[in-house]
Amino acid sequence: MSKLSGGGPIPAPSTFCAVYLFRMRRFGLFLGTFLATSLLTRGQNPLSVSPPEKNNSPQAELASFSIDSRLQVNLFADETMGIANPICFRWDPLGRLWVLCTWAYPQLKPGTKPDDKLIILEDTDGDGRADKSSTFADGLNMPTGFALGHGGVYIGNGRDLIHVKDTSGNGKADQKKILFTGFGTGDTHQNINSFAWTPGGELLFSQGLHCFSRVETPWGIRRLDEHGSWRLRPLRRQLHSYRRTSGGGNPWGFAFGDWGEPFIKSNGGEVSELLPSMIHTDHIAGGYWGGAMLIGATKIKSMAINIVDSPHLPKDLQGDFLIAGYFARNIARLRPTTDGAGHKLTTLAPLLTSSHNAFRPVDLNIGPDGALYIADWFNPIIGHYQASLRHPDRDKDHGRIWRISAKGSPSLKPPSLAKMKASELCEQLGSPLRRTRKLAKLRLMDLPKIDAIPAIQKWIDELKSDDPRLEHKLFEAIGVFESHETVNVSLLKQLLTAKDHRARAYATRVIGRWHHLLEDPLSLLKNSATDKHSRVRLEAIVAASDIREADSIIIAAQATDGPKDRFIDFAFTQAVHALATHWKPALMAGNLQFNQSSHLLRVVSTIGGNEVAEVIRQKLATQKLKPEETTKLIALLAGIGNSADAELALKIGIDNPGVLLALTDSARARNLQAPAGAAKLISPALVSQDNAIRIEAIRLSGLWSLNEHSETIGSIATDRPEKLALRLAATEALGSMNDPSIIKTLEKLTAIESPPIIRAAAIGSLATRDVKRAASLTASLLTKVEAKEIEPLLSALLQRTRGTDELVATLATETISADTAKLMLRWLNSTGRNEPKLTELLNKIIGLKVTTQKYNPDYVAELAKEALNEGDAVNGKKIFQLPIISCTACHAVDGIEGTVTTLKGPNLTALAAGLPVDIIIESVLWPDRQIKEGYQATTVLTKDGRALNGFVHSEDKTVLRIRDLTTGKIASLQIDNIKQRTKGVTVMPPQLTANLTRTELRDLIKYLTTLETVKEPQP
């Protein structure tokens, strides 16, 4: 068994451990960390750290499967064939199954040389069971993906993308070439993975959240920070990178529809439309985690996709997405339908479920016989931060490949692709089976260009014009030309005018790929940009983004005409940013002419910036515009311009609520300053007959502190006959004005006779001027208002920096009831506010003596044992719903009424499947020890006295946008207005369970470790 030379070392253990410890510190949020769902109906314990089964035989595991009665399962291969911990597999044209295995995961033992393997399995007698095994490559270092192609195998091997070959013909790799190096290795299971060939011979692969890649290529340094995908054009050695291509932090799995529609899977639950994300830009649309192109999901973590296309399997399975559910121990099933330019998925009953703790499906594919094959990692422990890297229960010895076939259905007989000449392979492109067509194209890709291209051209020339599958055959054919980097303009134009929109869509994609070889690629894209089908227009936007020219943005903008579509909107946003360095200078120079002014508006409103503002100024000054176009430009200028632009906006658009709204948003989010004479300019709007105009004028007066209007706005606030929305806007605006008489006006508005919403707003505004007085009035109101009115009062006061301290000082001398204190405490807990002084005082009023249990591993072990052996899950469920501990205020659980899905904590039904009981206990009792990724709250104190606590939504050089947990709204804060910022805090207040008895705590823990599994649809 020959060792491959040139293998590099794994990342330094100290580096790996640092990442590991970092993740451990961040991993948890109260109940949000509890990955402990169990399938009680079948005795399953689907923890990611599960106890090993007593019987790990294939027979025992097989007996644990529950499957559609029309199907049957048999073992194709196991550890006796040399496989253990299989990561992924691929079929070759000879009908052999290549399996990538790692014994080193999650970390190589110090002093040990890496020796992971790529193994070939064969079923020589066709009985559905492998009977021959050989090692093609060894000495690999925790490889995470591979693809067969170009006479060898591409392998993701740590930081390297390598290509290995067998040059001697003995079935073992003896040549290794490092094609690229510098891929990130920040976390083992996030290394480059999921290698898949596109229909045009491009190699896709992905990387995860903690990978930061810097890869040197003949085309320059290519970088990809955190999670996203790569595209390699092998013959050109050209790499492209794309950020945030899937939801969740770790993409893992690609699939293609019959017409090349690309989909991507995360190793969370998400399935996403890939195409709109295939635009190279550092701009991130859709938030930090990505997921804007989500089309469906499994409720529990899963990976890999296979789209069923096998006449051997039942008809109703055809076209369904099958997904390897490594957490839930199932094969999930989702059904796609068209949704505008993209798709959406509907969840169906799982194809297969298992009650065996070690069953971990990680990959799946249709085999040459038409059966479905499943790679089973086989391990009671998955992941590497939920358990020790050296945990003795990590299974390094077992691995399975399972085969699912249809009862009574004959196996398929695959063509002998490996023996076919180029002309014969071309004929296979007309096969009704996607698998056959794919493998035939891979064989054609591997053949010399001098053989493949004449053969495919001859095949095209001989196709009959009345062939009902003509357009699909042409689609397959153009992929052969792509794989050899050979342009066929006539074929491209034929597909661009095809009857089937899917053919036109794919041909549009090819324009983007071939643009450097085409005479006028943008001219070819014009028809696609105006195509009647939204999918073609989506492809036009993506293709235009590949053509880095100023005029490309004209095509992209044109493609957005038509019904609103989230896939098109997303791609367009990315394209505007990707092409900005080209279209902005051209626009500034007057060299960019859009077909419609609405297209220009669409582009500039997407990106903003000083350069864009200058262009708008020029257009307003020099061009004759329709009134509606002028209004739109003015509103846009108000949103991105300076104070002089605000003055122009007030002069021209004072009677337009959209213009005033844009000014209000700019004043709030960008700290746009009032222009000279603003008070006079805004006066007409304050007395407008249009309430929408009055509301925005009032808000703007407050944001700009136009004290000249304080009396007018105060009168509106106190005028009972006025509309409530007007009074509310006026009350909020008073808090930003400096007229001394305002304090008395606000005090008057806090009276019990005022509407609750006005009363709370008055407290908030008063707190900006006199927080001590606001706290005193709040304390007085707490004893008078209804229970539901307490929350808005507290929310208004405590969003001021000194609000809590002043309230504590006031309540020390004022009397409130224990019931009121309980309601206040519940609100604090539900909003994730950690206010120790106020909490201590409220507990004292209630009569609770709270003691804090110090962390003690012996105590944890003792409680864990007690909870598992003696806990009452039924009672624990009742405790979970107690208002005093506020679990249901932050977390949703399927089947429990009153739970909510919020950004405070994840849905526990889907997340309760990954942590052992000791970590669950830590998360309940010491939440700051276990903060789950994505749920680290940020506390911000501003220079103008605000106090906010929540999750960062987005951030740039000038603005921090935070989803405030108190209000649920996104607050935009100027970076230069931030006084103090604390990151990485838990939103779960400590001591939530401090008043539970030992029995109650034990029962709660028991319930959390035995949550019912996600209720899947029934067949």
379: which 2 tokens?
Answer: 């391990």
Residues 383 and 437 in one domain: no
| Cβ neighbour number for residue 441 with a 10 Å cutoff | 26
Buried b (16+ CB within 10 A) or exposed e, 138-169: bbbbbbbbbbbbbebbbbbbbbbbbbbebeee
Question: How far, in Å, CA of 29 to CA of 933, rounded?
Answer: 9
Residues 233 and 338 in one domain: yes
Rg (CA), the chain: 32
Within 13 A of 142's CA, how many CA atoms are on the CB side?
20
Question: How far, in Å, CA of 449 to CA of 205, rounded?
Answer: 25
Q: Where are the alpha helices (DSSP H) in 812-916?
A: 818-830, 836-846, 857-870, 873-880, 887-890, 908-911
Name the residue type at position 424: E
Place of tokens 């790990």: 56
Residues 311 and 439 in one domain: no
For the chain, how many residues are written? 1019
Q: Is 519 exposed, middle or buried (0-12, 13-18, 19+ CB in 10 A)?
A: exposed
**Residue 247, pLDDT score:** 85
Residue 832 lies in a domain: no
405: which 2 tokens?
Answer: 């076939």
Crossing angle for the helix pair 691-703 and 657-669, nearest 10 degrees?
20
The distance of Cα 887 from the centroid of its chain, to the nearest Å, equals 25
Residues 88 and 62 in one domain: yes
What is the phi/psi pair of residue 681, to 5°? -65, -30
| pLDDT at position 243 over 50 | yes
Residue 192 lies in a domain: yes
Residue 909 lies in a domain: no
Q: What confidence tens digit (pLDDT) does each residue in 93-107 have?
A: 999 999 999 999 888
* Beta-carbon contacts of residue 781 (< 8 Å; ≥ 6 apart): 750, 752, 759, 763, 789, 793
* 3-class state of residue 588 by DSSP: helix
Q: Which of 608, 507, 596, 520 has the alpha carbon at shortest distance from 560?
A: 596
Q: What confidence tens digit (pLDDT) does each residue in 631-685 have?
A: 888 888 898 899 999 999 999 999 999 999 999 999 988 889 999 999 999 999 9
| pLDDT at position 22 over 70 | no
DSSP string for residues in 355-422: --TT--EEEEEE-TTS-EEEEE---SB-SSSSS-TT-TT---S--EEEEEEETT-PPP----GGG--H
Within 13 A of 358's CA, how many CA atoms are on the CB side?
25
Question: How far, in Å, CA of 188 to CA of 11, rounded?
Answer: 9
Q: Which of 588, 622, 648 is the last residue of a domain?
A: 588
Residue 110's region, left for phi above 0, alpha for psi from -120 to 50, else beta, is beta
User: Which stretch, 10-19, 228-237, 1004-1013, has highest mean pLDDT?
Assistant: 228-237
Q: What confidence tens digit (pLDDT) does each residue in 165-209 have?
A: 999 999 999 999 999 999 999 888 899 999 999 999 999 999 999
**Residue 639, pLDDT score:** 86
Q: Are 505 and 536 in contact (CB under 8 A)?
A: yes
More reliable by pLDDT, 925 or 192:
192
Question: How far, in Å, CA of 939 to CA of 839, rounded?
Answer: 18
Tell me, what DSSP letter sits at residue 787? G
**Residue 977, pLDDT score:** 87
Q: What confidence tens digit (pLDDT) does each residue in 577-600 have?
A: 999 999 999 988 889 999 887 898
605: which 2 tokens?
Answer: 């409103």
Q: What is the mean pLDDT of residues 144-153?
A: 98
Q: How confident is the model at residue 385 (pLDDT cuts 50, 70, 90)?
A: low
Question: How far, in Å, CA of 758 to CA of 296, rounded?
Answer: 42
Within 13 A of 631's CA, how many CA atoms are on the CB side?
12
Question: How far, in Å, CA of 811 to CA of 846, rounded?
Answer: 13
Give the chain's count of helices (H) and strands (E).
35, 32
Residues 458 and 393 in one domain: no
Question: How far, in Å, CA of 364 to CA of 305, rounded?
Answer: 7
| pLDDT at position 908 over 70 | no
**Residue 47, pLDDT score:** 47
Question: How far, in Å, CA of 263 to CA of 261, rounded?
Answer: 7
Q: Which of 240, 299, 251, 250 has the alpha carbon at shortest distance from 274?
A: 251
- CATH code assigned at 551: 1.25.10.10
Q: How confident is the model at residue 907 (pLDDT cuts 50, 70, 90)?
A: low
Question: How far, in Å, CA of 557 to CA of 598, rounded?
Answer: 9
Question: How far, in Å, CA of 921 to CA of 939, rounded?
Answer: 26
Place of tokens 């987005």: 954
Name the residue type at position 387: A
**Residue 376, pLDDT score:** 99
Q: How confident is the model at residue 914 (pLDDT cuts 50, 70, 90)?
A: low
Residue 663 lies in a domain: no
Domain that holds residue 387: 13-32+45-406
Q: How many domains does the chain have?
A: 2
Place of tokens 């939801």: 247
Q: What is the mean pLDDT of residues 889-897?
A: 68
Question: How far, in Å, CA of 783 to CA of 164, rounded?
Answer: 77
Residues 347 and 480 in one domain: no
Question: How far, in Å, CA of 621 to CA of 962, rounded?
Answer: 38
Question: How far, in Å, CA of 374 to CA of 717, rounded?
Answer: 67
Question: How far, in Å, CA of 727 to CA of 716, rounded?
Answer: 6
Q: Which of 971, 966, 935, 942 has the alpha carbon at shortest distance from 954?
A: 971
**Residue 884, pLDDT score:** 67
| pLDDT at position 1 over 90 | no
Q: What is the mean pLDDT of residues 725-736?
A: 96
Question: How far, in Å, CA of 510 to CA of 335, rounded?
Answer: 28
Q: What is the mean pLDDT of residues 891-917?
A: 61
What is the phi/psi pair of residue 429, to 5°? -70, -10
Helix (H) or strand (E) holding 135: strand 132-140
Q: What residues are paired with 1012 via a beta bridge?
A: 38
617: which 2 tokens?
Answer: 């100024």
Q: What residues are paired with 940 via a beta bridge?
A: 948, 981
Tell me, what DSSP letter sits at residue 854? P
Q: Which of 564, 588, 612 is the last residue of a domain?
A: 588
Residues 425 and 401 in one domain: no
Buried b (16+ CB within 10 A) or exposed e, 775-803: bbbbbebbeebeeebbbbbbbbbbbbbbb
Q: Are 614 and 635 in contact (CB under 8 A)?
A: no
Residues 389 and 441 in one domain: no
Place of tokens 């009350």: 731
Residues 395 and 429 in one domain: no
| pLDDT at position 26 over 70 | no
The pTM for the full model equals 0.83
Stretch among 69-83, 225-239, 823-837, 1003-1017 having the lowest mean pLDDT: 1003-1017
Tell me, what DSSP letter sits at residue 517? G
Residue 885 lies in a domain: no
Residue 786 lies in a domain: no
Sign of the Cα torsion 868, 871, 875, 878 reads: negative
- CATH code assigned at 128: 2.120.10.30
Name the residue type at position 538: L
SS in 3 state form for 542-560?
HHHHHCCCCCHHHHHHHCC
Q: What is the dihedral of CA 109, 860, 1010, 40, to 10 degrees?
A: 60
Residues 460 and 435 in one domain: yes
Q: Which of 406, 436, 461 is the last residue of a domain?
A: 406
Q: How confident is the model at residue 24 (pLDDT cuts 50, 70, 90)?
A: very low
Residue 830 lies in a domain: no
pLDDT, mean over the chain: 89
Q: What confidence tens digit (pLDDT) does each residue in 341-369 have?
A: 999 999 999 999 999 999 999 999 999 99
Residues 425 and 296 in one domain: no
Q: Is 610 exposed, middle or buried (0-12, 13-18, 19+ CB in 10 A)?
A: exposed
Q: Are 77 and 134 in contact (CB under 8 A)?
A: no
**Residue 233, pLDDT score:** 98
| pLDDT at position 33 over 50 | no
Cis preceding linkage at 11, omega within 30: no
Q: Which of 364, 258, 245, 352 has the alpha carbon at shortest distance from 303?
A: 364
Sign of the Cα torsion 460, 463, 469, 471 reads: positive
Residue 860 lies in a domain: no
Q: What confidence tens digit (pLDDT) does each residue in 248-281 have?
A: 889 999 999 999 999 999 998 999 999 999 999 9
Residues 572 and 425 in one domain: yes
Q: What is the mean pLDDT of residues 301-327?
A: 97
What is the phi/psi pair of residue 567, to 5°? -70, -40
More reliable by pLDDT, 831 or 314:
314
